[in-house]
Chains A and B, each alone.
Chain A
Amino acid sequence: MTPFFFGEGQRRLFGVYDPAEGLNAKAPRAVVFCAPWGPEYTFSHGVFRRLALNLAAGGYHVLRFDYFGAGDSAGESTEADLEGWRTDIDSAIDELKSMAGALRVSLIGARIGAALAAEAAVRRVDIDRLVLWDPVVVGRSYLDELELKHAAWVNERTRYLPLPPADTPNRLCHPLPARIEQQMAAIDLAGLLTRLKQKILLVLSESRGTDAAALGTIANVIPNRLTLERVRDRPPWREDSPEFGGPMPVNALGRITAWMG
């Protein structure tokens, strides 16, 4: 495990590199993780670490990283936007290819990170496989979902204590500036999936909403390239007991590790 910073100028990004065990120098296999947004990333951080270790043990070079304005990377949360995160994913892919000596890279994306990973797979020619874990399918629906959860959180927290007004727009206490909200609203994964040429694993946790039905329809359209796995796990990006951590989705981790091979 090597934690390090990469990227150019003021856009330094924090990453953790797990080298492949049992190195295959002829054809190194590599995978970059594309993280969810805000609190969903906080809750699921440990799950991605576990998955990274599993894949490294299976012979993959793995890079997890924080987008600009998130985690330990440079920038403030209020400065982040999806356009920048797209370039961050490109930087991470190039960084891992350089570190591992790999020609192609697979992507594992979760929630908003899954949508961004799918975009990268359309944009680039060096993406091998794609894992989309509970992806955000329709950006507007995702924002509505965040707003509902946020309202519930505020309602619970103000049972006994008032909350002072916040200077910047936020959802679930993480800044969500208007710019990034507009960019999220424009996400349409369904239209994107049919343009992908890669093999795709679509992992859906239990208790998914209407977007799960939409994804099921897409799975029927491109059955040769898309494998749909419905897992009996609670989503790791939702807060669970103990507080500030999500559950460990053992079924999903097992399916992803097995599918990646």
Chain B
Amino acid sequence: MDGVSGTISERAVTFGLGDSLVGIITQASRPDPTLPVVVAINGGILVRSGQGRVYVSLARRLAALGYRMLRFDLSGIGDSLTRGDGLSPGNAAVDDIRLALDYFAAMGERVVLLGLCDGATLAAHRASLDRRVVGAMLIDPLIPRTARYRRLHLQQRLAHRTTWSELADGSHPLWRRLKMQVKGLTFSNSTTPPFDPNSPAVYAGLEAVYRGLVDNDVEVFALFTGGMQHRHCYREQLLDAFPAIDFGPRLRLEYFPSNDHHLEWPPHRVWLLDQITAWLQSAPFRDRPERELSDLSPRRNVQDM
């Protein structure tokens, strides 16, 4: 099952319920046992290799630095089979991550979870529940909009000449939306209401997750890109969204307005690799005391968000 390239080895593995989850473990011939292991979560329905193989590149880069990394497909995505146990997709995904940790971090290793978009939100959810997780790299996780967001977003749009040129030539999405409303149609074909991260139920769920990260002493690198301006548009939005949470010194926040969310453009992928590597190497995990092995078991199982 091994693929070996130089001193880096890549191994295909199956684990979870009925060995239904598929992943790849990448490591050097002699990984550094003092480093946490890294587990990467799918973004959306993308296969485990990630957009433009970004997780493949990351795994090989980290392996060269001594890290072990698992990238795997959540159930029903990529090569992994569906679970068939009746859990909702979100809760099934969070439990899939638990199964990945049970398999990959079975020897009491400390874990850093990494996710993009809804993969980031799932990573945060698991990290808030699981004592094995000491770090979470969250790229564009779901956060509520704030009053400052609405003001800034409007200002940014109004200040951009693309908005005005598209309004003038009729190509702006606003025209399409208005036309459909005039015709009595909804913008989406869906009969369900549009997803709203500020709805009371979603807000409460997200607040529990982010509070759980603090309670669980997880080092968090929350990185936001300008490619999700319909959701966030400034660096401190996470803090403003949850004023009741004291995130403390374990949170690092960055906002990169020029970077696209999907990491499609090759330079943006290189940039992301640099960000992740620099954060992991910046030593928040090396400096902090080891958790007791007895304290590394999962605190809770899946709960509804």
Q: Is A244's CB under 8 angstroms from B44's CB?
A: yes
Count of interface residues, chain B, beta-carbon cutoff 8 Å: 45
Q: How far is the CB of B71 from chain A (nearest CB, A)?
A: 8
Pick the contact of B53: A5, A77, A160, A242 (CB < 8 A).
A77
Query: Across the two chains, which residue of chain A brings its CB closest to B71?
Result: A72
Known contacts: A5-B12, A159-B162, A162-B258. The answer to whether A244 contacts B53 by CB under 8 A is: no
Chain B residues whose CB sits within 8 angstroms of the CB of A259 once the complex forms:
none
Residues of chain A within 8 A of B57, CB atoms compared: 76
CB under 8 Å from chain A, chain B span 1-51: 1-6, 10-14, 22, 24, 43-49, 51
Picked from B10, B259, B260, B262, the residue with its CB within 8 Å of the CB of A74 is: B10
Known contacts A166-B267, A174-B52; A244/B229 CB under 8 A: no
Contact B3 A74 (CB under 8 A): yes
Q: Is B227 an interface residue (CB 8 A)?
A: yes
Any chain B CB within 8 A of the CB of A157?
yes
How many interface residues does A have (CB within 8 Å)? 43
Q: Report the minimum CB–CB distance from B259 to chain A (whole Å).
A: 8
Say yes or no: B22 contacts A1, CB within 8 Å.
Answer: yes
Residues of B within 8 A of A157 (CB): 260, 264-265
Task: Give the chain B neighbours of A165 by CB distance below 8 A.
Answer: 267
Kindly state the separation between the CA atoms of A244 and B45 in the bound complex, as whole angstroms.
7
Are A46 and B45 touching (Cβ within 8 A)?
Answer: yes
**A243 touching B44, Cβ below 8 Å:** yes
Name the segment of A9-17, A81-89, A101-109 touching the other chain.
A9-17
- 18 A-B residue pairings within 8 Å (CB atoms): A3-B22, A10-B5, A13-B3, A42-B46, A71-B47, A72-B48, A157-B260, A160-B229, A161-B226, A163-B260, A163-B267, A164-B268, A166-B267, A173-B264, A174-B52, A175-B266, A243-B45, A244-B262
Beyond known contacts A16-B22, A160-B160, A162-B258: 8 more, CB 8 A cutoff: A12-B2, A12-B4, A49-B78, A163-B265, A167-B266, A173-B265, A242-B45, A243-B44
Interface residues of B (CB under 8 A from A): 1-6, 10-14, 22, 24, 43-49, 51-53, 56-57, 77-79, 81, 160, 162, 166, 226-227, 229, 257-260, 262, 264-268
